Amino acid sequence: MKKLVKLIVSLSLTAAAVPAFAGTDAGSVLNDVISRTDAQIAPALGAALELAPSFAVPAPAAMPERAARGISIVDITAKCTENGTVVSAFPGIYKKFASEENSRIIRVFLIADPQRGERRLEVYFTGGDWMEYGLTYFVTNAGEAQDQIKVYPVSDLSTPDAENGAVAPKVDPFDVPKLKAFVLKTFMDAGGNVRPGFSSIAATKLMN
């Protein structure tokens, strides 16, 4: 490396001195200098390039899961858990539809909407002892009427075999990243409302 630096410096000084020769073609002198030193510079330059470190371009950082208009979803399950059990903010609604003996809230999300404020979504899972896979419901005040709590059965997160529960759902309700993506991209529309394809089976007034 030091040899390469000396050769380059020598070449630069020689080129700078070319105009000082009276009656001499500056281009010819410079070409002659380059041709005589090329055999020495090329091997050294090649070795230097082999030793030079290579730099990898880092991949872009993953963006958080968000829907249109800045709507985002936050997992608040831990804050809603007491003695190992998730406590509902809407306990009365669960008496309005049928459940199997194995039933529990498996996840609670806070839906943040910059235009409409915060809403809550509870993911309710139920199934019999004999069922390998169960049924999933969304219990939420998300929707056009925010003073209403509604229950929505979610077929993609439930076993299609409601009697025996032997068939896995399309989307695993216990896979939190997939669950979040489903809420934002499939369950809710661009305006933050529940999509028309989902129909509620129970509703009650939100009590302040």
- Name the domain count of the chain: 2
pLDDT recorded at residue 117: 82
- Residue 135 confidence class, pLDDT cut points 50, 70, 90: very high
Cα–Cα distance between 97 and 99 in angstroms, integer? Answer: 7
Do 181 and 81 belong together in one domain? yes
Do 95 and 156 belong together in one domain? yes
Do 156 and 195 belong together in one domain? yes
For residue 59, is it within any domain?
no
Res. 28: pLDDT tops 70: no
Do 200 and 106 belong together in one domain? yes
Do 112 and 14 belong together in one domain? no
Q: Are 180 and 73 a contacting pair, CB within 8 Å?
A: yes
Report pTM: 0.67
Q: What is the dihedral of CA 39, 45, 46, 48, to 10 degrees?
A: 150
User: 82 lies in which domain range?
Assistant: 68-205
Do 92 and 195 belong together in one domain? yes
Q: How confident is the model over 32-62, as pLDDT tens digits?
A: 544 554 455 445 445 443 444 433 444 444 3
Q: How confident is the model over 49-104, as pLDDT tens digits?
A: 344 443 344 444 434 455 555 789 999 999 999 999 999 999 999 999 999 989 99
Distance spanning both ends of the chain, measured CA to CA = 76
Do 197 and 95 belong together in one domain? yes
Do 16 and 84 belong together in one domain? no
pLDDT recorded at residue 18: 42
Do 138 and 165 belong together in one domain? yes
Alpha helices in the chain (DSSP H): 2-17, 26-51, 176-182
Do 37 and 85 belong together in one domain? no
Do 81 and 39 belong together in one domain? no
